A and B are shown apart, each in its own frame.
Chain A
């Protein structure tokens, strides 16, 4: 990357710093999803770059305590938060004692929260700030401004991001959204996209023939994922073109609608509904088809599009949210979220494939160049370098910042921060820092292979 090379000369003299990083989020394995995968791959690649990474999440059922994943990735499943998970009231202080213990135990320097819906992430960032650690936040989702849920979310986000070190967004649209939602300076917001593991998304060794076109859809079947559009266009496409079949993976409240549509139009042998699939199986599902259809109504990034392109599928998608930024026009056919437009786009895709206008065989190698977790980790590391060098804000300046964040909310924010400091003091008395049992770190690789790139 060009930008990285310009920044490296002045840092070359200094020995590269290896950080102790805590990724904090409510969402992690065993729950499936984009944030979870992002965190896991980011952690793995940071470990590969000789950082020490832990993940803090809440307990999932009997999955409590500390678990070790590949390459010494330590995951803390905090038990007591599960109870509060459904609660809409932001729990500002409840996890502070345990989070402080973990931060001290692992001698954390950088707290990196993920997902604006996660209250644990917000707590981690606020308490991290209070403890004088550096904070980074990654936003994975888009929010509107009109409904009550969004307003509450945005207030909460504003509170967390008042004194954030740096924010990472997964797309430029997401950046615009986050900057407005939290009213922060756009210069501390970086755009670092998601990536895919290329080896897990290789195209089919033998490409399916073009006599029968199979359109693959992998999506949770929710209204905001465009399930209604999907239900509307399938019968029309099936009536127009007898060679098109559908393969739909995913579950959700709109599954019934799809089933009913299939019954009504007698499309049992042309529309296959296989329910939810695990992420490991996504590739096996994808390579059965030639076209990937994505009718979503909102999307911050759309990792699944990259996965589909990496599997050598031609992508037909709605141009909403951050989707237009994700893939080049030769891999995608864009439609507006309307029934007619989507039907046209699918038919255009079929024609393009049949007339050999697109060469899907090169998609995999091209996507490989575009999105790579190692690259994401490198760029994230630059963000860490940036925040690490920054001075901590003085408490009084911090309070002024919080006070100015809103007319009524500002007072509330200040109250929260002041009590956070008091709680920190109390914790310092009851569990002094020098009594904390420091964890031994997983042995770092001593070769500096990554230092010279």
Chain B
């Protein structure tokens, strides 16, 4: 009961309650009984009002504001299965590493073959990545430009800033507004594609490092027995599966949201004009210490709506920060697993190509797979999933025999079919409590 009563009402209640004074000596339980018989107690959830009740009086309205499980999500089995299949995909990637190692270590496979295959696939994937990114980015740029043109038609502009500062007293919105100065590229939600030269340089650097280090890696654990290496590798693989960042959902900006956001960019340019002029006129006087200088110069440089944009679009900036928080823990584990295993191999070439294969399978492929899912290329994702899982399954059958194959397949089924079911049955234990004591979520619209 959070409503507030006018003073006259309060006084009335007080008067009314004075007559029913004997209620106060009731104990809690008796009182509850009493309440169930009587119709109203007239107790108010107020501290400033002296009420004729004991301090430990508990009204029937106690906990009436308690909400339960209000944020609980309904899960669909189908969606859960597709989410859990990511675990199977990751397991298969790790298994592919183990399989390649087993092949080169036991069966004297040519170590270069898997590495070459994976390199070729990585190269093709990279081309696909760059082309898709470019296409999406350009599409968005075109949309934005169309929006800008429409905006320009709507408001006739004379884009001269110099004149605006002269007659700053008579604020003419259209004169100050200068859409040309907005760099549209800055407002795109799609990330820019990687630079070919830079990527080539860094990948060559890594390959050369690996080449020079592979003799060292090869003899790294000579003094350790093989059994400890297998145990270590098994643990690393388990940790890898446990700590992998599966990235089930990507923060997506819906089409509508994007449009709204872009429109605010243009609107912001109108609304900040007055503050712009202020900052322009006095920017020289404020910037005294270093801190001030920095913030102020930032404001005056980017004052064409950009700082405001950064603060308004919480949703979009969230998107960018979330990208930065990606966990690389499982990738580090994958690389250490590769190094540990490579130290058992006989030749430099096999150690080198094995590590290269590992980096491509466990380091680069998950990034590519995440990218395809972010771009909502569901078909392509499922193609990757099935082809990789099936290939690994078949190889497992050939290398380890039917028994291990059945174990491996039942592990898949356990994860994909039983896992989601178990997850759904656990949902009934959910007991979320919410009430007035929870910190409120403030709604901050603009700055």
Chain A positions within 8 Å of B, measured between CB atoms, are: 1-3, 6-7, 142-146, 166, 168, 171-174, 176-177, 179-180, 185-193, 224, 226, 228-229, 231-232, 235-236, 260-261, 263-266, 295, 297-298, 300-301, 318-322, 324-330, 332, 334, 336-340, 370-371, 379, 382-383
Contacts and interface: CB of A to CB of B under 8 A. Distances in A.
Interface of B: 2-7, 10, 18, 21, 24-25, 27-29, 45-50, 52-56, 58, 62-63, 65-66, 275, 278-279, 282, 286, 292, 295-296, 299, 307, 432-447
B47 A172 contact: yes
Contacts of A324: 2-4, 45
Given A3-B54, A338-B443, A329 B63 contact: no
A192 B444 CA distance: 34
A185 B292 CA distance: 56
B62 A186 contact: yes
A339 B66 CA distance: 25
A379 B447 contact: no
26 contacts: A1-B50, A6-B21, A6-B25, A7-B25, A176-B66, A189-B58, A190-B54, A191-B56, A193-B47, A224-B439, A229-B442, A231-B447, A232-B444, A232-B446, A235-B447, A261-B447, A264-B275, A265-B275, A266-B278, A297-B440, A324-B4, A329-B5, A330-B7, A337-B442, A339-B445, A339-B446
Contacts of B52: 2-3
A346 B282 CA distance: 29
Contacts of B47: 171-172, 191, 193, 301, 322, 325-326, 370
A187 B62 CA distance: 11
Contact of A339 (B48, B435, B444): B444
A89 to B, nearest CB: 25
Given A264-B275, A337-B443, A2 B24 contact: yes
Contacts of B441: 297, 337
Which of A3, A318, A321, A382 has its CB near the most chain B CB atoms (within 10 A)?
A: A3
Contacts of A338: 442-443
Given A176-B435, A338-B443, A263 B50 contact: no
Give the interface SS of chain B, mostly helix, strand, loop or mixed.
loop
Given A229-B444, A328-B4, A321 B28 contact: no
A186 B4 contact: no
The 7 closest A-B pairs by CB, nearest first: A187-B28, A190-B55, A142-B437, A329-B4, A298-B439, A338-B443, A177-B437
Given A142-B438, A176-B63, A224-B439, 8 more contacts: A172-B47, A186-B56, A298-B437, A320-B440, A321-B436, A329-B5, A329-B7, A339-B442
A192 B2 contact: no
Which of A2, A229, A318, A337 has its CB near the most chain B CB atoms (within 10 A)?
A: A2
A364 to B, nearest CB: 14
Contact of A319 (B2, B292, B444): B2
B4 A263 contact: no
Contacts of B4: 324, 328-329, 332, 334
A318 B48 contact: no
A266 B275 contact: yes
A162 B66 CA distance: 22
Contact of A174 (B437, B438, B443): B437
Given A6-B21, A337-B443, A339-B445, A145 B433 contact: yes
A325 B282 contact: no
A322 B447 CA distance: 29
Nearest to A232: B444
Contacts of B286: 263
B45 to A, nearest CB: 5
Contacts of B66: 176, 180
A3 B55 CA distance: 9
A325 B46 CA distance: 4
